[in-house]
Structure 1
Amino acid sequence: MREVWVGEDEDPFADVISAESRASLTRSFDAFEGMRVQMSKDRGPQVDVLRTMAGTCPLYISHGHGTLVASWKFEVAARAAGPAKPNIEACRIYLDHGKSQTREQILQNVYMLWPGEQATFDEHGLRFSAMPDPDIVLSSAFTDGARATDEFVRLIGAAMSRNLSRSLSPLLEISGGMDSSCVAIAAAEIRGSLTSYGVIQPGAIGVQQRQRRRELVDLFGLNDHDGISWDPLPTLSLDFAECRVTPYDDLYRMPCINTIERHGLQNSDIVITGIGGDELTKEHTFHREEWEVSGFSSSSSILAAVSRADMFMRRGIWPVNPLLDISVINFCRALPKQMREGRLLNILTMARAG
């Protein structure tokens, strides 16, 4: 048995003797993102790829000529799968419903390995084990004197502290909206003198954005940079090579990247985002469509994270999405419904931060 661990931190199960136990523990691990590759010849050559339950970056799987490929780059997996042929059913789902949390991708023999899952490759081919249906936290009531905003900020901070404390050049992505604002509040409690960026919308929305972002910049002493969201327009994205090589793409990929590169921020090693915040205050976000795989976070959240990940990763920047941390999601699901309605949790968090 040979084994490789790739993760945001050291292998948490390196001292576990049994390979089967390490595999099982890996798939249920939720503290940070990681992947374990086990290679065995006991019953014929076999490779197992296992993902932790925590995870927000894409991991495409394909095989060809007896070789297994696992990569966050869609084009690498597609190339290994051989001549490109459309997967008709996957294409139909994509055209009818947009991006979905599906196993099969738009090209034949290209798959996605989602968090908490396992891919096995042997003489019989490639097969997958889906993540078991997770236990879902239900809404409850407050204890006397509870301050949900304090715990909300603490949990967000805990979700990014490993990355933020070790980073040499962290970057905050701040739109001025509620989600990125709450993330900025938590980040500023961990580390000072942070650098931030954001893209500004046109018209009245942009005026509000600038005002909200200026409050955050002044409050936390951020070294801030901005760009415009229509540079280029989303309809022109296919003019750029990197927008033509992935089925998971983001509407503002090039405006974000142009802003980062224009201000010399491409040397950042992590970017901290507010992805997943909208879903924290919604109900029943654990439901999946019949064609989707199971998962812990809402499908729309993980899809947004996957769609934006490689635009940073292609530049050596690791995306950190603290609002997709399982502890944050569980906390918000446990809140009384009234605390989630109208984004009251976010509003109180921002107000109490000044």
Structure 2
Amino acid sequence: MLSFRLALGARTDSTWQWDTDRWRRGDSWIRPVVHPALRHDIDNRTGVTTVGVRDVASPLTRSELTDHDRGPENVAGTARGDALLLRIQPGRITLTAGAGGTTPLYLTGDGDILHGTWDLPALRHLTRQSSLLDRAVVRALTRRHRYSSDTLFTGVTTLTERATATFTATGLNIAYPTPAEHVMRARDLRPGVDVTVVLERLLTDALRPWQESKTTLGLELSGGLDSATVGVAASVTAAAPLRSFGLIVDGAVGAEQNRRRTTIASRIGAVDDILRAHDHAPFCASGIRASGAAHDPHGEFYREAFEALADTAARGGVETMLTGNGGDEIMAPRGDELPPPPPQRLTDVSWLGPRAREAVGQIDDNLAPSAVLPTPTLMGFAIHHPAYLRSGIWPVTPLTHPSLIRFAEQLPLELRRGKKLFRDFLTRAGLPPLVTHPRRTEHFRDLMQHGLRHNGLRLAEHLLTDGMLLADQDFIDPDALRRTVQHARRSATVPSVLCDTLVLEIGLRSLQAPDTTPAT
């Protein structure tokens, strides 16, 4: 929600001035994400500068912004929507994030300068000077992602939800919040309760601020239960027809997906846009990874396709995109409601080098505490949402509204298992079994295989010949990786986890490329 360059020792008696797209004071600047669904305020009347950025669903008020007796953790940290509070005092800068986590915020100190941004490549002049963080690299290579203030770089930190960052002459410190409280067990329904009615009411409440914001709404419509549920709820009170956007995969799976999307779009009165996902497969020639342009190494597997979708939506005039993200997590059975999962194995990543193998035991170090939103959802936001911001779109996930999360936590298992509640809701809305109980559900496994088979193996061979950064630093064993690639050439299936290594290597290389962006 913000990018900035702040000098710790700058004068505090001068005034911040708005200059085109940011506030400036001397060599310091603060650039908010300017969007009709966001509000940003600055207060500098007491010599202490306070900047608040919030979305239209956040209760952060002007009086809270100027109440310097309230700690920032008591303002942004309790925001119902998404908010960020920045406070600049002599010799001290603090930032506190709200609970929403819609966009990441990366922080790094450079002497007495604090840099912050939601777009990691903007810090690449500093990431080049930073070492790789072993536990973060091995999480990426083994697909054992964790919610943490860690990034791939020892010198760059993420501000996690409700956390507070403090920057002083001694450096940058992140203080995690207390764990969020959650309902720990399901409850029995009262006799006569219609949970589909309750779901509709909660979704209506979650959608209301966005529908009242007067921004042009779009819907990321996959054809699955989650986005269909959001679309049906949004259509009930929509002032204008929604624009829906979706990635259609090839083959029989895609044919059924397309029929479901067409049925859903017709039911909610949406104007539908379809992109063929295989035209934007991983590592395709037209994508950002093949271009060598600077990008976040910790990115979406299907970044090429989702960036094409975001660009299409932006050209269509969409300003706010509704998605079904978070539905899997709020409907998932808890750990004590299922048999224990089999332990994860590293044999699928046979090309791990000695440095990565040594760091495996550190994977669970420095974890953020229990969050208001499910942590897999928050991690998904960090990799999925920046593409929307770059296209000028604010992403919204109604299924992650705190009231809906608390409601779902109390539901009996039989309503969450297989997302029965969503199926019942869609059935009542008049959607047929084709949508509510499909024979084949959409997935991107074939798209991954297509991308790896047609683009990834050739890319891996080129990287191995050229020399890999991850191999140079002992995170991977190049000989073992070469054997895997050779075997994949002869096999019917390419190991999908190979994508993780290629994504990471290409991303790290892109941040080392010369920076041709004009200085700001």
TM-score (norm 1): 0.91
CA distance in 2, matches of 1:77, 1:117: 21
318, 324, 337: which is aligned to 1:268? 318
How many residue pairs match? The answer is 349
Relative to structure 1, is the Cα distance of residues 181 and 11 closer, same or farther in structure 2, using a 3 angstrom cutoff? closer
2:170 aligns with 124
CA distance in 2, matches of 1:251, 1:38: 36
2:208 aligns with 161
1:126-141 equivalences under 5 Å are: 126-137=172-183, 138-141=185-188
Deviations 1:209-267 (A, max 9, x none): 1111111111121111101111221243521456x511332233222332454576353
143, 147, 153: which is aligned to 2:190? 143
- Matched-pair contact (CA < 8 Å) for 1:46–1:121: yes
SS state at 2:262 partner? helix
2:261 aligns with 213
1:315 aligns with 391
1:250 aligns with 300
- Matched-pair contact (CA < 8 Å) for 2:247–2:277: yes
2:103 aligns with 57
CA distance in 1, matches of 2:314, 2:394: 17
- Matched-pair contact (CA < 8 Å) for 1:140–1:334: yes
1:337 aligns with 413
SS state at 1:4 partner? strand
- Matched-pair contact (CA < 8 Å) for 1:305–1:321: no
RMSD of Structure 2 on Structure 1 (CA): 2.3
Paired letter, 2:81: F
Q: CA deviation at 1:163?
A: 2.1
Identity of counterpart residues, as a percentage?
Answer: 22
CA distance in 1, matches of 2:67, 2:211: 33
- Matched-pair contact (CA < 8 Å) for 1:275–1:301: yes
2:273 aligns with 225
CA distance in 2, matches of 1:270, 1:131: 29
Deviations 1:136-157 (A, max 9, x none): 1131111121111122122223
- Matched-pair contact (CA < 8 Å) for 2:60–2:83: no
CA distance in 1, matches of 2:335, 2:300: 21
Greater shift after overlay, 233-242 or 51-60? 233-242
SS state at 1:55 partner? coil
SS state at 1:21 partner? coil
SS state at 2:165 partner? strand
CA distance in 1, matches of 2:314, 2:170: 49
Relative to structure 1, is the Cα distance of residues 126 and 311 closer, same or farther in structure 2, using a 3 angstrom cutoff? same
CA distance in 1, matches of 2:270, 2:257: 16
Paired letter, 2:87: Q
2:488 aligns with none
272, 288, 304: which is aligned to 2:380? 304
Relative to structure 1, is the Cα distance of residues 82 and 167 closer, same or farther in structure 2, using a 3 angstrom cutoff? farther
1:21 aligns with 70
SS state at 1:151 partner? helix
Relative to structure 1, is the Cα distance of residues 265 and 351 closer, same or farther in structure 2, using a 3 angstrom cutoff? farther
Paired letter, 1:274: G
2:368 aligns with 293
Q: CA deviation at 1:94?
A: 2.3
1:40 aligns with 89
Is the aligned partner of 1:100 residue 2:164? no
- Matched-pair contact (CA < 8 Å) for 1:168–1:269: yes
Paired letter, 1:185: V
- Matched-pair contact (CA < 8 Å) for 2:101–2:381: no
Instruction: Structure 1: give runs of 5+ residues left out of the alignment.
Output: none
Structure with max Cα Rg: 2
Q: CA deviation at 1:338?
A: 1.4
CA distance in 2, matches of 1:254, 1:216: 25
Q: CA deviation at 1:8?
A: 0.8
Deviations 1:108-129 (A, max 9, x none): 2111111111100011111011
CA distance in 2, matches of 1:263, 1:108: 36
Deviations 1:290-338 (A, max 9, x none): 5521222222211112111111111111111111221111111111111
- Matched-pair contact (CA < 8 Å) for 1:280–1:329: yes
TM-score (norm 2): 0.63
Paired letter, 1:329: I
Q: CA deviation at 1:4?
A: 0.6
139, 150, 155: which is aligned to 1:109? 155
CA distance in 2, matches of 1:104, 1:78: 16
Paired letter, 1:342: G
Instruction: Structure 2: give runs of 5+ residues left out of the alignment.
Output: 1-47, 337-362, 431-520
